[in-house]
Structures are given as structure tokens and as C-alpha cells.
Amino acid sequence: MSHSNGVASRQDVLRVRDLSTRFFTDEGQVNAVESVSFDVRDGEILGIVGESGSGKSVTALSLIDLVESPGRVTSGQLWYRNADLAEEFSDAADGEFVDLRALPTRVRRALRGPSFSMVFQDPMSSFNPSIPVGEQIAEAVEVQRRARANPRSTRSRTQGYGLGRYLLDSVVPTLDYTDDESHERAVELLEQVGIPDPEQRAREYPHQFSGGMLQRAMIAQALAGEPDVLIADEPTTALDVTIQAQILNLLRDIQEERDMSVLMITHDLGVIARMCDRVCVMYAGEVVERGTLEDVFDRPTHPYTEGLLGSIPDLDDPAPRLQPIEGNVPSLLDSEMGDRCYFADRCPKAMTECLQHPPEYEAEGSAEHRARCVLADHPYDEREALPPDYFEAGRPAETGPVDGGTDDDRPAEEAQQND
């Protein structure tokens, strides 16, 4: 765990500040991402880890404007370091940084590829089944080439692919969208991600690739625009264990070779330990703990982080029983969230003061270690502990802890009659 050496001195390429994303559903407003802040630095791998439903993937989609209706980014700033854009859009700039949310849509869209690109979870559903893989990568190269020449021309032939388009493509031969140079670059990219016989493979269709090979091809496609920040959303979840290791090694090699920044989204702390320099732990749409790898793994402060670490097997010391985190992630429905610590109903150290939403505190360790938990401010006080059944009892926060009640186990009515 020594990846983080020297990372503190690197410059930020992206500063995310108070980002909130909501989904407006028939059941009500869902707060999928709640006031999230973090920085991505030059040439580092930043990990975002959490259970399903913690908001980590929606955070990634929010960065590149891919949140679909009924969701939308409702507040916050995304400061991206880009001197040219800062000069062109000086109203949205702060020094060399420009707030992506304040830029016109066409400009933001044109940044997908050369500035930010994404490797998705499931390569099978990310490629168009009826176009050879090499052609699709060549299109990504071509889109970036055209986007550099004219920021309005950023739509590829594989975007918005539906049944109508499929039928049309079957009966009407389309003109080539890409030129020879883009094809050559696609073959080069396939070679760089370790695909054997890339010229032949470039002519093959997605169904002729294995899952691991297709994930490599998707990484090649994501690299087509030579992005500043590569977002990898659970890039190995759909793959078996040996292939997972190969893909992670590939990502690490590419990141080092290009000194690129990578945002690694995962539920797997093993992936974080192996790959990342710094970590954000997300729970219920919030970043609950962040810091260097050493901060989070060696000095976890938030009980949720401790729970995540306690629920992974230790191969060096397999004797202790795993400690699962009891309970479930909350629904994130605004009407049900309340104003307490969102982890309080699962937290073994919940105290009366946790019925107020905690701020982010500085935590022990490096200068950037933060935790959204009162335990970062002072130690646990057993006298203030909430009763274990506090949330089961369904008491509203303002009434305070449940009292001890009577010593006998009789129902209250029966006890009253007999006394």
C-alpha cells in the first residue's frame, strides 16, 4: 500500500464541490448523490467504494453529464483544470479551472473523449452488435478528431442505436464514417490493450470476443480520445477472477504509461487496495470517509468503513469470523432520510448526538483524512448510546432515546390491568 507516496504534491485536475443529484420518481424525490466533494489529481487513481445503492455510479455519471431522466444534477460545481476553456468562458472560470456545469451543453459534450471517458461494467451491452469492434473504436477516434476540429460534431454512428437504425443498416449500405487513419489508430489501440492479432480482431463482431477481450476493447475505445480522466465503473464485475486481475493490471499499466488520472468505482475493497492512491467511501449518497489508502485502511474512523473492512476475508489470518454489516442501505427517498446520520440505524456506536446530521470532521492521519462521523471529533461515550432497538421502535428523532420501561416482559396493557 505505497501508491499514495507523492500524490499529495500533485495538482488537481478535477475538483468536485457539493455535487447533488436527485431522481424525481413517482414515489418521491430520491437523493442519490448528496453534497459530494472530492478532488482528482494528475496521474493518480482515486477510488470510490461503497455498497450497491451508495451513489458511487451516479456520482461518476454526474461528472460526465450522463444521468438519465428522471434524474438530474441539482447543485454543486465541477471544476476542471483547462486553461483554454477558462480563458474562453471566463465567467465560469476560477484561475485555470472552469466549472463544467456552467458551460454550454455542446462544449460539455465535446469534452467526453478528450477530457473524460468511461469504461462501463458490462462490455457486452456497450458495443453495437452489428458493427465490427475495430470500426466502433475507429469511430471513437474519428469523433474525437472531428470534435477537435468542430466541437458541434460529436455524435458517432453507434450512438442512439435502435431497431429502426438496425433495419436501415441491414438494407442500406452506409458510407464509411471513418477514414484509414482512424482505422489504423484503432488497430494500434487494440494492440496496446493486449489483444492478439489486432488487425484480424478489429474486423470481428462483439459476439466473437470473450468477456475479457471485449472489456479490453472497451478500454481501447475509452483511450481513443486520450482522456485526462478515465472513469472506470466496476470494470471487472462481469469478469471471472483471473481475467479481473489481468484487466486491473492493464488499467494500472496504462495509467502509469500515460500518467493519466483514473477514477475507479468499485464495491470491492480488494480492488481499491491493489489499485488506488486515495479513497472516498460512499454511503447513502454521501462521502462518509476520504483520505489516502493508509488513512482509510490503517486508521478507519467511520464505523461503516470499519464494517466494510471487517467484512473482507484476511488470507494471512483466516481465523476471525467475518463481521457483516447488519441491516440495509436506506431507500434514499427524501421523505424517509430525516436529518440524522444516515448510518445511525446500522451503527454499533450510535449516540444521541448522531440524531443530528454530522458534518465532515478532520480525522487522525494525513492532512486530507476526513470522516462524516462524530467519532472523528471525540471518542465513543457509552452513556450516550442509543438503545439497540431505537430505530426498530420507530421513534421520531426529536423524542430522544427510549427509556428502560418495566422489568417484566408483560405487554404494557396487561401490566397496567394487573398492577
Residues of this chain that interact with ligand SF4 (CB under 6 A) are 302-303, 341, 343-344, 347, 349-351, 354, 358, 373-375
At its nearest, how many Å lie between ligand SF4 and the CB of residue 379? 10
* Cα torsion through 363, 368, 372, 378, rounded to 10: 10
* Cα torsion through 47, 44, 123, 16, rounded to 10: 60
Phi, psi of 297 (to 5 degrees): -85, -35
Between CA 278 and CA 340 the distance in angstroms is 27
The residue (of 198 and 291) whose beta carbon lies closer to ligand SF4 is: 291
Between CA 265 and CA 103 the distance in angstroms is 26
SS3 of residue 22 by DSSP: strand
At its nearest, how many Å lie between ligand SF4 and the CB of residue 372? 7
At its nearest, how many Å lie between ligand SF4 and the CB of residue 307? 10
The residue (of 13 and 371) whose beta carbon lies closer to ligand SF4 is: 371
DSSP state of 406: -
Between CA 50 and CA 322 the distance in angstroms is 18
At its nearest, how many Å lie between ligand SF4 and the CB of residue 56? 18
The residue (of 183 and 302) whose beta carbon lies closer to ligand SF4 is: 302
At its nearest, how many Å lie between ligand SF4 and the CB of residue 332? 16
The residue (of 181 and 381) whose beta carbon lies closer to ligand SF4 is: 381
The residue (of 47 and 303) whose beta carbon lies closer to ligand SF4 is: 303
Sheet strands (E) in 243-284 = 261-266, 278-283
Pairing of strands 12-25, 45-49: unpaired
The residue (of 201 and 346) whose beta carbon lies closer to ligand SF4 is: 346
Between CA 96 and CA 90 the distance in angstroms is 10
The packing angle between helices 180-192 and 211-223, to 10°, is 120
At its nearest, how many Å lie between ligand SF4 and the CB of residue 342? 8
Asked if residues 144 and 154 have their Cβ atoms less than 8 Å apart, the reply is no
